[in-house]
């Protein structure tokens, strides 16, 4: 099985629900977004459009981040193809960040608190106790949720029902069907990394 995500740009309204639901699921610190929404203008007035593009780790089939990791901290789950990071093995060298053509990895070197000198909130303290500093972080398709039989937080929460996850190695799966029927595309395919996040045209 290889998990892939399909993001339907026709349905997405750029509400940032995924970006914040992800933050709520993983308690990521300031400046870290396992998924985020990028807004881009295409065209010129008056035939212009403002496109919302949610981005995150592409869980590439040939992930350069994994290949470049000197310690084996960046790895691929055999059961799903999810690209993940083992914080116990990560030494914070950031080779993976240099290798990733999508800039969707974050190095967290020190504790940053959302409310500054007031210190961590109760919820930040809860997450601080669970996470390590000096390591690289990124999206892992909410692997813990998937193991519990749930969808990733961004998929489950999306009010526009714009995100789907499923097995792209199964040609009958919903994600395979959507990619085929709607002309799904990946970002920067020319980099040759085999991204597993697909977009459906608006």
* Contacting positions for other proteins (CB under 8 A): 8, 10-11, 13-17, 19-21, 23-25, 30-31, 36-37, 39, 41, 43-46, 48-52, 62-64, 66-67, 69, 72, 74-80, 84, 86, 114-116, 118-119, 121-123, 126, 147, 156-162, 202
In the complex, the smallest distance separating the C-beta of residue 110 from other proteins, rounded to whole angstroms, is 17
Query: SS3 of 50, please?
Result: strand
In the complex, the smallest distance separating the C-beta of residue 126 from other proteins, rounded to whole angstroms, is 5
In the complex, the smallest distance separating the C-beta of residue 93 from other proteins, rounded to whole angstroms, is 15
Strand pairing category for 197-200 and 3-8:
parallel
Nearer to other proteins (CB atom), residue 79 or residue 170: 79
Nearer to other proteins (CB atom), residue 116 or residue 149: 116
Q: What are phi and psi of 173, to 5 degrees?
A: -70, 160
SS (H, E, C) 99-129: HCCCCCCEEECCCCCCCHHHCCCHHHHHHHC
Nearer to other proteins (CB atom), residue 69 or residue 168: 69
Nearer to other proteins (CB atom), residue 119 or residue 134: 119
- 77 and 88 in contact (C-beta within 8 Å)? no
Residue 95, token pair as written in the block = 């080779």
In the complex, the smallest distance separating the C-beta of residue 103 from other proteins, rounded to whole angstroms, is 14
Nearer to other proteins (CB atom), residue 70 or residue 134: 70
Query: SS3 of 174, please?
Result: helix
In the complex, the smallest distance separating the C-beta of residue 176 from other proteins, rounded to whole angstroms, is 18
Instruction: Go through 162-198 and write b for each residue having 16 or more CB atoms within 10 A of its CB, e for each that does not.
Output: bbbbbbbeeeebebbbbbeebebebeeeebebebbbb
């Amino acid at each position: 099985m290889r998990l892939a995500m399909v993001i339907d740009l026709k349905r997405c309204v750029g509400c940032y629900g995924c970006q914040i639901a992800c933050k709520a699921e993983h308690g990521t610190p300031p400046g870290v977004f396992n998924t985020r929404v990028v807004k881009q203008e295409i065209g010129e007035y008056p035939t212009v459009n403002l496109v919302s593009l949610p981005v995150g780790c592409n869980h590439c089939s040939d992930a350069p981040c994994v290949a470049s990791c000197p310690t084996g901290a960046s790895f691929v789950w055999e059961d799903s193809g999810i690209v993940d990071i083992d914080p116990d093995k990560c030494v914070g060298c950031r080779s993976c960040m240099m290798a990733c053509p999508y800039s969707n990895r974050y190095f967290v070197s020190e504790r940053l608190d959302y409310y500054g000198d007031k210190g961590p909130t109760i919820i930040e303290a809860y997450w601080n106790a669970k996470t390590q500093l000096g390591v690289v972080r990124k999206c892992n398709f909410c692997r813990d949720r998937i193991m519990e039989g749930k969808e990733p937080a961004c998929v489950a929460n999306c009010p526009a029902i714009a995100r789907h996850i499923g097995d792209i190695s199964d040609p009958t799966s919903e994600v395979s069907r959507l990619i085929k029927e709607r002309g799904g595309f990946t970002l920067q395919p020319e980099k040759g990394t085999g991204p597993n996040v697909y977009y459906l045209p608006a």
